[in-house]
Amino acid sequence: MLRTIFTIGILAFVGLFVLRLAFGILGGVFSIIFGLIGLAIPVLIIGCLIYVAALIFAPDTARSWREKFGS
């Protein structure tokens, strides 16, 4: 019975260590992902503004872009 209690305690300790390690690594991964998203949003907005400007002032160019990059 004492051996079972120690085994459960050791497994709980190892589990907590693994969880702390995993969430520590995942925290860094989430930080990198959110940083990249933070950089991608302004690029997306600027690209949309350029496309809208091309659509208004140069419709042929916008149509060419749509054929080249669109589906």
Q: Is the pTM higher than 0.75?
A: no
Query: Token pair of 4, please?
Result: 């079972």
71 — pLDDT class (breaks 50, 70, 90): low
Tens-digit pLDDT profile for residues 16-37: 888 888 888 878 888 888 999 9
Give whole-number Cα distances, 1 to 9, 12, 26, 62, in Å.
12, 17, 37, 76
Task: Give the pLDDT confidence score for residue 39 in this predicted structure.
Answer: 94
**Where in the chain are the domains?**
2-69
Whether residue 62 contacts residue 47, with contact meaning beta carbons closer than 8 Å, is answered with no
Whether residue 46 contacts residue 39, with contact meaning beta carbons closer than 8 Å, is answered with no
Give whole-number Cα distances, 24 to 13, 17, 32, 34, in Å.
16, 10, 13, 16
Q: Is residue 43 pLDDT above 90, yes or no? A: yes
The whole-chain average pLDDT of the chain stands at 88
Q: pLDDT > 70: what percent of the chain?
A: 99
